[in-house]
A and B are shown apart, each in its own frame.
Chain A
Amino acid sequence: MSTAIHLALKEIWRNRGRFLLFSMVVALITVLVLFIAALGEGLGSGNREYIEKLNADLIAYQDTARLSIAASRVDCTTRRAIRAVEGVSDVGPIGFSSASIPMGDRAEPQDVTLIGVEPGKPGEPPVVRGDGLLRSSADEVIIDRTVALMTRLRVGDPLVIRTTQGNEYEFYTLQVVGITDSRKYSIRPSVFVPIVTWDKIRPKATAEPGEDDPACNVIAVQLADPAQIDPMRQLLQARVSRIEAVDRQTAYESTPGYTEQQSTLATQNAFAILIGVLVIGGFFQIQTLQKVPQIGMLKAIGTPNSTVAVAAIIQIIAVTLVGIAIGGLATWGLALGLPPNIPIVFELRSGVTALVSLLLTGPIGGLVSIRYSLRVEPLTALGLGS
């Protein structure tokens, strides 16, 4: 073992330029894989974050909406009917629409998801600073952390929201009463307003009179016993007509394009790792082919096959490790410089999965060259073939 380590490390050190160059290739693949993983996580979380963190056990849709929030409309009668089902502890209407925040003359308006919730009911996010919403019709807003970072607004500051009413932009000034953690939806940061306010300022094709109790997109349902999600889901659908209730995970996975987007990114990542396997395999195979006479000589003087194999494995692992370390550091450095609105999220689990996959690319890619070097015959040292 010590001889194998000696041979492996001496070869790396005496050819450090070549090995470093190859580690840089591994580093670039690492950056690519980590960024794709982070993009997948960023886009995924940007699509699901609000629903994932929702303080509700079930989400009720209009039954014909096929779990599309945009297509779903649920009215007050339905909301009351859901609340009346035994085992339901609370319900809250949620409305989703798009809006933007003017950022001054020089900058583009920042698009946000405008979410209408009923104060104190499921759907309203917990605040990390300030207070919750007070009244259904108040001109109050809770902004999420990303909006706070982008606008530099603080609790008590006014926030101007721009929406389209008919053919015109309308501007609404709301007061920031609280700041919640990141709650993106539809890849946009979110602002939360009382449901009546939401109904008043949400974009409309034509001016509509506001209602005291407006229709919303979905109903967030809190259960008395959160362990009873499945039976309660069936009970709700049996008792309340024209709804489809699902848990949070089903809800965000049913977001149009979510699954396709995630599988596309997973495929890209798999291809990047496959490219890594092929590149590492190719490098070590070429190197092994160049070293055939030397390997033959080593075997002829009595070097065991195990020493040759272990030396090759050590080199593969060392090159891969150095490449991953450089790539990891480069990714970290690049990530520090990214603006907060770019959907890149470095999450521990997906990052570790990507790194472990990359670590395996070395040995897997090098298998062919290791096998090849094991088959080199010591007779080659004498110029004799098999």
Chain B
Amino acid sequence: MTTALEARLVVKEYPVGTGTVTAVDEASFSLQPGEFVALVGPSGSGKTTMLAILAALLTPTSGNIIIDGQELSQMSQKERTRFRRRKIGFTFQRNNLVSYLTALENVELLLRLNGEFNAAGKKRARDLLLLLGMEERMNSLPRQLSGGQQQRVAIARSLINQPTLVLADEPTASLDTERAFQVVETLAALVHKQNRAGIMVTHDLRMVEFADRIIHMLDGRVERIITPQDDLSCLADPGECRLIPDDVLGFGQPDV
């Protein structure tokens, strides 16, 4: 099976004054198709920067990102934009949808951008929204949808182009608990069902139960990679954690 994502010793440094700040420090991990991973850690741990690097929005200072066999650092800006549109699906924390497009049009937007706005594409968009329970709200504008419904539309959009990698940045941040569980459960289920690789950045440790693995970042480093069945208390208090055996870690050994 081809690895969906490989992150190898990824470093991201920002110049600050005369020195540098390391936002991501030699992070390494990999994801297989059909795998849904939660990227967790406290504020400032480098989760969002890592996500931006995986999404080809940021260029790492060093290290490699390989998605579907393609090395991102070799790509021009234009190629990265094209790559994002074809290989990566996005769900953001907020401002997920185009305000003046209906739910269906938002999902179809990716089809238009990729030149796949045809009968098959349109059917796929409708089917995805049906699958997400949005049959009654397909023609509603984002302002007419609840936060949970908006996130479901964003999930449909992130999957419409059958991407290799689905990235979700704090998808439950603005939702109540019940809706948050529904959204993450749906996202995880679709990633599994459609055999995509999914990464969800979250602060909410209750959401990690839907993940196959949990990547814990601390101070820019991958602190540990564990499963939801492991003792999760270390995520709240890293000092109490035990190390996870290598076979659970995927690519690369976390530097702990």
The reply to whether B113 and A3 contact each other, CB–CB distance below 8 Å, is yes
Q: Separation in Å of the A92 CB from the closest CB of chain B?
A: 70
The reply to whether A301 and B157 contact each other, CB–CB distance below 8 Å, is yes
Contact pattern, A 292-304, Cβ under 8 Å of B = 1, otherwise 0: 0110111111111
Q: How far is the CA of A296 from the CA of B95 in the complex (A)?
A: 9
Find B112's partner among A2, A299, A381 (CB 8 Å cutoff): A2
Which of the segments B97-105, B129-137, B220-228, B239-247 contacts the partner chain? B97-105
Contact pattern, B 45-81, Cβ under 8 Å of A = 1, otherwise 0: 0001101100101100000000000000000001001
Contact pattern, A 1-15, Cβ under 8 Å of B = 1, otherwise 0: 011001100110111
Residues of chain B with a CB closer than 8 A to A333's CB = none
The reply to whether A14 and B48 contact each other, CB–CB distance below 8 Å, is no
The reply to whether A383 and B48 contact each other, CB–CB distance below 8 Å, is yes
Residues of chain B with a CB closer than 8 A to A11's CB = 100
Find B92's partner among A299, A305, A381 (CB 8 Å cutoff): A381
The reply to whether B93 and A307 contact each other, CB–CB distance below 8 Å, is no
B122 proximal to A (CB < 8 A): no
Residues of chain A with a CB closer than 8 A to B84's CB = 300-302
Chain B contact-residue range equals: 20 to 34
Q: Separation in Å of the B50 CB from the closest CB of chain A?
A: 11
B29 proximal to A (CB < 8 A): no
Residues of chain A with a CB closer than 8 A to B101's CB = 7, 10, 14
A378 proximal to B (CB < 8 A): yes
Given A378-B57, A379-B52, A382-B51, answer yes or no on A301-B90 (Cβ-Cβ < 8 Å).
Answer: yes
Residues of chain B with a CB closer than 8 A to A379's CB = 52, 57-58
Q: How far is the CA of A345 from the CA of B96 in the complex (A)?
A: 54
A384 proximal to B (CB < 8 A): yes
The reply to whether A382 and B113 contact each other, CB–CB distance below 8 Å, is no
Chain A interface, number of residues (Cβ within 8 angstroms): 28
Given A6-B112, A14-B141, answer yes or no on A302-B51 (Cβ-Cβ < 8 Å).
Answer: no
Q: How far is the CA of A305 from the CA of B110 in the complex (A)?
A: 15
Q: How far is the CA of A237 from the CA of B113 in the complex (A)?
A: 75
Given A294-B95, A294-B98, answer yes or no on A382-B52 (Cβ-Cβ < 8 Å).
Answer: yes
The reply to whether B100 and A307 contact each other, CB–CB distance below 8 Å, is no
Scan residues 254-291 of chain A and give those whose CB is less than 8 A from a CB of chain B: none
Given A294-B98, A382-B57, answer yes or no on A302-B81 (Cβ-Cβ < 8 Å).
Answer: yes
The reply to whether B157 and A297 contact each other, CB–CB distance below 8 Å, is no
B8 proximal to A (CB < 8 A): no
- Of chain B, the residue at the smallest CB distance from A307 is B113
- Of chain A, the residue at the smallest CB distance from B108 is A6
The reply to whether A10 and B52 contact each other, CB–CB distance below 8 Å, is no
The reply to whether A384 and B49 contact each other, CB–CB distance below 8 Å, is yes
The reply to whether A300 and B92 contact each other, CB–CB distance below 8 Å, is yes
Residues of chain B with a CB closer than 8 A to A302's CB = 81-86, 88, 110, 113
Residues of chain A with a CB closer than 8 A to B85's CB = 301-303
The reply to whether A293 and B112 contact each other, CB–CB distance below 8 Å, is no
Residues of chain B with a CB closer than 8 A to A7's CB = 98, 101
Scan residues 344-384 of chain A and give those whose CB is less than 8 A from a CB of chain B: 378-379, 381-384
- Measured CB to CB, the residues of B under 8 A from A are 48-49, 51-52, 55, 57-58, 78, 81-86, 88, 90, 92-96, 98-101, 105, 109-110, 112-113, 141, 157, 169
Given A14-B141, A307-B113, 7 more A-B residue pairs with CB atoms under 8 Å apart are A3-B112, A294-B99, A297-B95, A297-B96, A297-B98, A301-B110, A383-B48
Can you show 24 pairs from A to B with CB atoms below 8 A apart? A3-B109, A10-B100, A10-B105, A13-B100, A293-B94, A297-B90, A298-B98, A300-B90, A302-B86, A302-B88, A302-B110, A304-B78, A304-B81, A379-B52, A379-B57, A381-B90, A382-B52, A382-B55, A382-B57, A382-B92, A382-B93, A383-B48, A384-B48, A384-B52
The 5 residue pairs across chains A and B that have the minimum distance between CB atoms:
A302-B85, A14-B100, A293-B95, A302-B84, A11-B100
